[in-house]
Structure 1
Amino acid sequence: MNLASRPFAEMKEESHFQEGDEVLFMPGSAFAVEAIELNEKSQLYTIKLKLCDDDEIQKGFHKKNIFKGDRDTVRELFNHMGTSTLVHECSNLDQLYNHMIKLFSFDKLIEFDYLKAMGSIYFKNKNFQLSIHYFERCLALSQTIVHSEEKDIAELYCSIAESHYRLRNYNQTINFYHKALNLNSLPSSKVIMPHSYLGFSYLTRADWSNVDDISSAKYHLQQVLYIDLENEILGDGKIIDIYQALGDINEYQNDPNSALDYYTQALELCESNQWTDDSNEFKEKIQAIKSHITESEQCKT
């Protein structure tokens, strides 16, 4: 098992109880409770445990510092909230926040991290209305914090924008992603997704009837490819979607040669991944464009 935990071993062959499984764990091993389930028939509880690795064990020691009022530890815990299953007392963000705000009254950074963590958890749980609510509260609070990092503000804009994208609020998506990009504070690895979401938001909003939106979609999707060429961030599936969108855009703009180029690149990726259905779709598109180009050339002659 690939787990950086305390050593353990199966002891079934050495056990006096051959009818059951037996595992010996080294002293100091730690477990997290993942679920407690009641068997309605037997009225017995089944407790499912997870063996924690050394990193999780270390995070578990946050509990000792939290109740001593360790401010930096609390801020770090907010950032990890939702991923750590060790600190039962802190599994509820509101409970943790209410406790810490008594120790650090009017601490805006504690409140900032709390609101951001709440937004992240609601986003993870696909409650995008509430994720927007908490991210916007966090954004408003950041305006009152002296020397707020522009990078933090840009990331909040992105979080709000992506929440709107999930709700198909494309106008808001476009608005907040532009605010994020205008700050020029995000690294390339975090700029690529705003361009991607902007491209598809413009394209969806345009519905093939708004020329300006289609041109904007083309620009942002091309930016995605430029950034990915240098950083290799996206997977093949995402790149194929972008090639297809750019092929469709160029075909709409009556540029069959560029469309053919994008469809061909998409086909090559599909074939390298053995995605047969997608390959057939692009083959049909390529054949249709080639036929159109041939007919156009014949008409000219």
Structure 2
Amino acid sequence: MRSFLSTSIDREAALCFAQAGAHDVEKVLFVIEADTHRQTAPFASISHLSYFRTEDEVLFMLGAVFRIEKVDCDGGVWVVKLVLCSKDAHEIKKMIDHMKKEIGEGEATFYSLGCLLRKMGKYEKAERCIQRRLRELPQNHPHEAPCYHLLGNIADDKGDYTLALEHHNKSLSINLHTLTPDHPHIGYSYNSIGGVYNVMGDNESALQNYEKALSIWSKCYGKNDERIGDVYNNMGNIYLRENKLNLAINNYTRSLEIKKKVLPTDHPSVGDIYMNIGSVYATKGEYDMALSNYDKALRIKTKSLLPTHPSIATTYKNIGFVHEDTNKHQLALEYFQKAAMILHHSLPSTHPWVVTIEDAIRRIKSKLKYIDQSSLFSSVIRLSSV
């Protein structure tokens, strides 16, 4: 917070204030969870000092940091669940400041809201915001290109890769007609197009686009920029799929070195790289190293993302695969079910990630059933031989 925040422990009083606004604005109610047993708390009840004592006013201090847990709409009022972060949340604050720079700290628009919602894993709401922003813009407006680019990223997140390519190519076409060929925005298009080809399994097209992005961004930003780290990570994904494990780990390591220099410690992008490094070790059969890196990824993501974010589910899924490969089937099932709970909350049932996790759950249940039957059969054999 950049100013003192006045709140009330009386929900009905707060709702009255929310509903008293103009009819053409959104009504928002913030529900804050705070530990009242802290020795040093950045809030205090001032109802005994307030002129309106029935409002049960609680004042939060300047600089308080909150974590968004959940956003719902209830009877025309948006309800945002917040949790007050601890006083040692310096890294969280650094990450929030970094994300503000990514999204933009200027005038709030449906584009900036769409960016934020996408980072929260709220893809449907993000898409609606960007479509509304496009309707606001006059034809051939320069902001059309970033809108189509973000729609491409959202379609990619939702598993609609054909639509993702369509949006990204439209954004690229606009930029190529309005910008110089080595403009950094064109690098974003090439990197994102490479990402779609990557998940579609077209490694050659993905690498071609990644190399174009790397060439443009290296000239614009130098070798130690966050975007350069993104490309190395993405190229590592392709080499992992091609089972070129040394090339994969080299690219992931270069990416991690860059990200740790320029990003907050608990930035989710750092967690993504630890997860990818873990996948290399899992492929090599070095399961202890795989779990060590997955645990680092999970610790970062649970700190920096909403509990329902699909990226946390992906980490649970990968940990489950390691336990399955090491014949710890019950543990594997527990992690697969954690992943499934998140994915069903965040993604449509037809999304490839949802299909994959449901297949994994069926497979591991079948293995557990087979083990139980084998144990029973073995007991019968032993009893019969007595």
TM-score normalized with structure 1 length: 0.52
Letter in 1 for 2:187: V
Q: Distance in 2 between matches of 1:91 and 1:110?
A: 16
Letter in 1 for 2:319: L
Q: Are 2:323 and 2:332, in contact at CA under 8 Å, matched by a contact in 1? A: no
Alpha-carbon offset, residue 175 of structure 1: 1.3
Match of 1:71 in 2: 184
> Which secondary structure state, in structure 2, belongs to the residue aligned with residue 143 of structure 1?
helix
CA deviation string 1:76-128 (max 9, x = no partner): 4323325469xx9x935445423442233456123122212222232343323
Paired residues for 1:16-31 under 5 Å: none
Q: Confirm whether residue 174 of structure 1 aligns to residue 174 of structure 2.
A: no
Q: Confirm whether residue 224 of structure 1 aligns to residue 307 of structure 2.
A: no
Letter in 2 for 1:198: I
Match of 1:239 in 2: 361
Q: For the structure 1 residues 287 and 127, does the alpha-carbon distance in structure 2 shift closer, same or farther, using more than 3 Å as the test?
A: closer
Match of 2:376 in 1: 289
Match of 1:115 in 2: 232
Q: Are 2:309 and 2:342, in contact at CA under 8 Å, matched by a contact in 1? A: no
Q: For the structure 1 residues 192 and 241, does the alpha-carbon distance in structure 2 shift closer, same or farther, using more than 3 Å as the test?
A: farther
Q: Are 1:135 and 1:156, in contact at CA under 8 Å, matched by a contact in 2? A: yes
Root-mean-square deviation (Å): 3.9
Q: Distance in 1 between matches of 2:184 and 2:287?
A: 39
Q: For the structure 1 residues 109 and 74, does the alpha-carbon distance in structure 2 shift closer, same or farther, using more than 3 Å as the test?
A: same
Residue 201 of structure 1 is aligned with which of 319, 322, 329?
322
Q: For the structure 1 residues 114 and 189, does the alpha-carbon distance in structure 2 shift closer, same or farther, using more than 3 Å as the test?
A: closer
Residue 101 of structure 1 is aligned with which of 218, 238, 241?
218
Q: Are 1:153 and 1:180, in contact at CA under 8 Å, matched by a contact in 2? A: yes
> Which secondary structure state, in structure 1, belongs to the residue aligned with residue 271 of structure 2?
helix
Q: For the structure 1 residues 149 and 112, does the alpha-carbon distance in structure 2 shift closer, same or farther, using more than 3 Å as the test?
A: farther
Identity of aligned residues (%): 14
Q: Distance in 2 between matches of 1:156 and 1:144?
A: 14
Q: Are 1:116 and 1:134, in contact at CA under 8 Å, matched by a contact in 2? A: yes
Letter in 2 for 1:150: H
Match of 2:313 in 1: 192
Q: Distance in 2 between matches of 1:129 and 1:239?
A: 31
Letter in 2 for 1:125: E
Q: Distance in 1 between matches of 2:265 and 2:177?
A: 30
> Which of the pair has the greater relative contact order for Cα pairs under 8 Å at 6+ separation?
2
Unpaired runs of at least 5, structure 1: 1-51, 208-213, 248-262, 264-281
Aligned residues: 199
Alpha-carbon offset, residue 145 of structure 1: 0.3
> Which secondary structure state, in structure 1, belongs to the residue aligned with residue 262 of structure 2?
coil
Q: Are 2:239 and 2:247, in contact at CA under 8 Å, matched by a contact in 1? A: yes
Q: Distance in 1 between matches of 2:285 and 2:378?
A: 37
> Which secondary structure state, in structure 2, belongs to the residue aligned with residue 81 of structure 1?
helix
Match of 1:164 in 2: 281
Q: For the structure 1 residues 179 and 68, does the alpha-carbon distance in structure 2 shift closer, same or farther, using more than 3 Å as the test?
A: same
Q: For the structure 1 residues 202 and 66, does the alpha-carbon distance in structure 2 shift closer, same or farther, using more than 3 Å as the test?
A: farther
Larger radius of gyration: 1
Q: Distance in 1 between matches of 2:297 and 2:342?
A: 21
Residue 153 of structure 1 is aligned with which of 262, 267, 270?
270
Q: For the structure 1 residues 80 and 164, does the alpha-carbon distance in structure 2 shift closer, same or farther, using more than 3 Å as the test?
A: farther
Match of 1:3 in 2: none
Q: Are 1:82 and 1:91, in contact at CA under 8 Å, matched by a contact in 2? A: no
> Which secondary structure state, in structure 2, belongs to the residue aligned with residue 160 of structure 1?
helix
Alpha-carbon offset, residue 240 of structure 1: 2.3
Q: Are 2:310 and 2:342, in contact at CA under 8 Å, matched by a contact in 1? A: no
> Which secondary structure state, in structure 2, belongs to the residue aligned with residue 144 of structure 1?
helix
Q: Are 1:157 and 1:179, in contact at CA under 8 Å, matched by a contact in 2? A: yes
Q: For the structure 1 residues 191 and 242, does the alpha-carbon distance in structure 2 shift closer, same or farther, using more than 3 Å as the test?
A: farther
Q: Distance in 1 between matches of 2:212 and 2:338?
A: 45
TM-score normalized with structure 2 length: 0.42
Q: Distance in 1 between matches of 2:165 and 2:355?
A: 29
